[in-house]
Amino acid sequence: MHRTSMGAIVSASAALVATAALIGAGCAPQTATPADAPTASTLEAATISGDAKGAGNPVNAADVEALWAPVAAAAAEGGYTAWGTVVDAQTGEVLLDAQASTAHTPASTTKTLAAFSALTHLDPTATLTTSALLGADNQTLYLDSEGDLLLGIGTSDEVEVSGRAGLQTLANDAAAALTQRGITAVTLNWRGTLFDGASHLASWDAQEVGSYEGHVGPMAIDAGRTYEGANAFYSDAPGRVAQVFSQALGAAGITAALGEAGDAPAGAGALASVSSATMGEQLRWMLAHSDNTLADQYCRFAARAAGAPSTYEGATDTVRSALIAAGVPTDGLSLEDCSGLSSNDKISADTLVGVLKASYAGQGTGANTMRLLPWAGLVGTLSQRMTEEPAVGNVQAKTGALQEVTSLSGSVLTQSGRVLLVSIGHDRVTDGAYATRGRLDAFEESLAGLN
């Protein structure tokens, strides 16, 4: 893995503003075997100041319960479940307990647990290297990667997270090195696997949601989508990357015949490499875009770093272990994946808000889960929600959505500057949960309006 500086992770909420300059050092690997996943950094990050944490007027539980009453009434009338909890971030006082200890289907709010596990075990300043290696026979080129699923087709983009490492840039640099050696034609092989076990969960297909997630593995373009924004993914994302890379080599003057997936040739050495955005940036991108494949990819990284099997089961076990170690309640917790795509996933509001509490109280990278969450009216899946004052820029949350589920988990900044930790949702909405999410948004808007 490659370590570099990570840009500041800054909250739009005044009480959560933090500027972090996380700096590390290292170099790209020169062998065909990927390095182990980076472990949690001991580098210091900016934390919320004591004054900021203590800011704002305390919120009365009766006021919160009164705001929740219309949500509960609508759920009772509609025959579905409304669940949630609201906690004062400063004091830990529970301001709302609506089936908070009961596990419900969380949908993509599960990704907050994925981010927490990743930040527990990985270095957010590290990057993922994708390399072109030349075999000792000077005829075999090998495409290797440490797990970057956000490769770009064109040249490397120093601004965007997806496409930070560009295949055309890698091809241009590799072609220049090959030409210098007098080589004009190669056979291109590539790494096809990275983790243990299945790369795609069978139960998703049984639930008819398998098209919403790609395959974890060594490399992909745009998380393996067949086109930008698609809910369709290549079944062989590394093979697709190799195909695009061979075409890029051709454009750079090198004839590359596609070979096969497998191990790197003996004695292979690096010709060229490109680096991804930092892991912290990719995690923020994952949360903002609610990218299912990236969530499970990072849980696999975390499992491997923790010494657990890099399978779905190993990844979810690693999540549970990280939560327990942080003192987060796990009663009723049951996970098949880290993306929340499976309707068999069950998480309580107490667990979801426990992750937020652990992050709020954390130091260094331990505080990053909250910092990485999208902002209402501004970012990702919240960019078109809660777009007016007082919620815009004062609600920071991960969204969740399945056919019968809608959920939110994050923080709300009140008018006086009090930080509330909020995990809420609707479950078993047989007529479709999308139509009910406005009630959750209205509740959060009302919380933001409290003085």
Residues of the domain holding 353:
61-123+282-449
Cα–Cα dist 98/102, whole Å: 9
Shared domain for 270 and 287, answered yes or no, is no
Cα–Cα dist 380/185, whole Å: 43
> How high is the pLDDT of residue 55?
86
Cα–Cα dist 50/156, whole Å: 41
Domain assignment of residue 44, yes or no: no
Q: Give the predicted TM-score (pTM) of the model.
A: 0.89
> How high is the pLDDT of residue 278?
98
Mean pLDDT (the chain, rounded):
89
Helices (H), 85-201: 111-121, 167-180
Shared domain for 298 and 380, answered yes or no, is yes
Is residue 103 within 8 A of residue 347, CB to CB? The reply is: yes
Shared domain for 287 and 357, answered yes or no, is yes
Shared domain for 232 and 375, answered yes or no, is no
Domain assignment of residue 240, yes or no: yes
Shared domain for 361 and 409, answered yes or no, is yes
Cα–Cα dist 132/190, whole Å: 9
Domain assignment of residue 50, yes or no: no
Nearest to 72 by CA among 59, 64, 81, 60: 81
pLDDT of residue 16 exceeding 90: no
Domain boundary pick from 278, 311, 326: 278
Domain assignment of residue 217, yes or no: yes
Domain assignment of residue 29, yes or no: no
Q: Which of 261-292 are b and which e, b meaning 16 or more Cβ less than 10 Å from the residue's Cβ?
A: eeebbeebebbbbbbbbbbbbbbbbbbbbbbb
CATH number at residue 330: 3.40.710.10
**Which residues, at least 6 apart from 92, have a Cβ–Cβ distance to it below 8 Å?**
357
3-7, 167-171, 398-402: which has the minimum mean pLDDT? 3-7
**How many beta carbons lie within 10 A of that of residue 392, not counting itself?**
18
Domain boundary pick from 255, 278, 301: 278
Shared domain for 132 and 203, answered yes or no, is yes
Cα–Cα dist 349/401, whole Å: 16
Cα–Cα dist 22/4, whole Å: 8
Shared domain for 232 and 180, answered yes or no, is yes
Tens of pLDDT along 98-156?
999 999 999 999 999 999 999 999 999 999 999 999 999 999 999 999 999 999 999 99
Cα–Cα dist 346/340, whole Å: 9
| Lookup result for tokens 């049951």 | 334
Domain assignment of residue 435, yes or no: yes
Shared domain for 223 and 326, answered yes or no, is no
**Which residues, at least 6 apart from 254, have a Cβ–Cβ distance to it below 8 Å?**
171, 174, 175, 178, 179, 183, 184, 185, 186
| Lookup result for tokens 């290297």 | 129
Nearest to 98 by CA among 439, 413, 386, 394: 439
Phi, psi of 350 (to 5 degrees): -60, -40
Domain assignment of residue 320, yes or no: yes
Domain assignment of residue 54, yes or no: no
pLDDT of residue 34 exceeding 80: no
**How many beta carbons lie within 10 A of that of residue 252, not counting itself?**
18
CATH number at residue 201: 3.50.80.20
For residues 247-254, average pLDDT: 98
Domain boundary pick from 250, 278, 306: 278
In this prediction, residue 47 has a pLDDT band, given cuts at 50, 70 and 90, of very low
Shared domain for 262 and 167, answered yes or no, is yes
Q: Omega into 390 within 30° of 0, i.e. cis?
A: yes
Shared domain for 294 and 439, answered yes or no, is yes
7-21, 164-178, 217-231, 304-318: which has the minimum mean pLDDT? 7-21
In this prediction, residue 189 has a pLDDT band, given cuts at 50, 70 and 90, of very high
Cα–Cα dist 305/91, whole Å: 34
Shared domain for 341 and 415, answered yes or no, is yes
Cα–Cα dist 415/422, whole Å: 16
Shared domain for 147 and 272, answered yes or no, is yes
Number of structural domains, the chain?
Answer: 2
